[in-house]
Amino acid sequence: MNWILAQCPCSGGGGVSGGIPAWIILTATFGLWLLISLIWYRKGASTMSKVGKIAIVVVLAAAVIGVVVMKKRSTSSPATQPTSQTASGLPRLVDLGSTTCVPCKMMAPILEELEKEYAGRMRVEFIDVNQNPDAAKPFGIQLIPTQVFFDASGKELWRHKGFISKEDILAKWKEFGVTFADAQTAASQPASAPVVERLAPAKADTRAKDAVCYLCDKDIDAKTLVVVKTDKGDVRLCSPHCFFIMYSCLTEDKTGFEQKVSVTDWGTGKAIPAMEATYLYGLDVKTGRPTIKAFGDKDAADKELKASGGSLIAWQIVQEKELENRCGFCDRACYPADSAKVAVGGVNTLGCCSHCALGVAARTGKDIEVHERDRLTGEEIVIKTAGGNVASLQPGTAVGWFGLRQGPDGQYVSAGCFHQGFFASPDNLKTWLEQNPLETGRLITIQRALADKMKLSPQQIQKACKMGQCAPK
């Protein structure tokens, strides 16, 4: 009886596709019972005769049931996977899914973008396995979503189960030798975004070399200058904070390293040993960033304390406070006010820059949620990942800036964390570039920024943002 009810549409699943309807089976069962009753109560028939006839009926019924069971099994088993489909003259991507499962919903905007961007160059087809099971049956899928790639002749090239990013789809086509006009641009830009790239500064950098911070490339304020003595020359930094960023990234033995460091006396402008100074530690009420002023004279520090407020602390306490907040990806020192907020596995951490924030997914192997700010307007940008891909993006127009610099060999490499950022729209990015003529790099999608981090090996992640030596530019 349980087997019979399993075919009923109201039992969940709407019956077996291609099987015998439940009402026919119930009718046949009732007819079998009626036939047995007539035989048993027929006059003039011996008990043995009745039993014999009933046995025949039961055998026939069993045969019918056996046929039904075999038919059920044959229709419920996966269909033979097709090796080819009708040739369309174009490469074809078929996504089999539904409108209810989470990864299927994540695929929807990607399919829409591909269909728009590659119209006339690639066919993109979505099959809802719930609404159109007959169309899905020839593919013999076992999991949704499943994407099936066909070449222009209709031959199946590859299939993938689960969510797959737009970039990985295009990369897979390229792997099979299928290329599209402007495919490289389409892979790195949002559907409606222009190409934004600047590989040479908009104006010459006329600043004196010793007036530029070795780490962040910002102008050095003479009152907060920090100098590190090295065998290769002096390393000049714009603030104690930039020193501790560099210090947190050093791979060398740091024993006695602080003895090489001098800071600038806030009052006199003279260089004094960093470990001997008294520091006035405060907070900028506008930005939330700490302020650090060094003094060689305790009385001068007390006077500034009464004028501006804060706390007087020694070098060791400055070091503890500066190193207490670290990036969840590269482990460099950072200020929460400057960093992206990252939630991973129920734990909150920081990303020293927007790209390192995405790198937390690569380091932990877990899904993350990133809250970053537009570098121009401060507007919040929220990214959620799933399985190493962008699952949601708010606002949907947000893009990334990948800062690049040209190395001595002529190749372009990352310009470092200080030159990366996210923007709520390409227009915001372009405005920011106008205001920062020395910045060089290119626009990339948030998905591409994440994919670049996910491709890093454990060894590469371990070395992220680490400096092998401290040397001037």
DSSP state of 11: G
Contact 360, 344 (CB under 8 A): yes
Identify whether the C-beta of residue 385 lies closer than 8 Å to the C-beta of residue 360: no
Residues with Cβ < 8 Å from 185, sequence gap 6 or more? 195
| Radius of gyration of the chain measured on its C-alpha atoms | 34
Helix (H) or strand (E) segment spanning residue 392: strand 389-394
Catalytic residue among 8, 101, 242, 465: 101
Q: How many CB atoms lie within 10 A of CB 446?
A: 23
Asked if 334 is an active-site residue, the reply is no
Residue of 104, 327, 330, 417 marked active site:
104
- CA dist., res. 420 & res. 356, Å (int): 9
How crowded is the C-beta side of 184, counted as CA atoms within 13 Å? 0
Cα 352 from Cα 356, distance rounded (Å)? 6
Q: How far apart are CA 149 and CA 373, in angstroms?
A: 38
Task: For residue 111, give both structure tokens.
Answer: 């399919």
Q: In the annotation, is 104 catalytic? A: yes
Residue type, 425: S
List residues with catalytic annotation: 101, 104
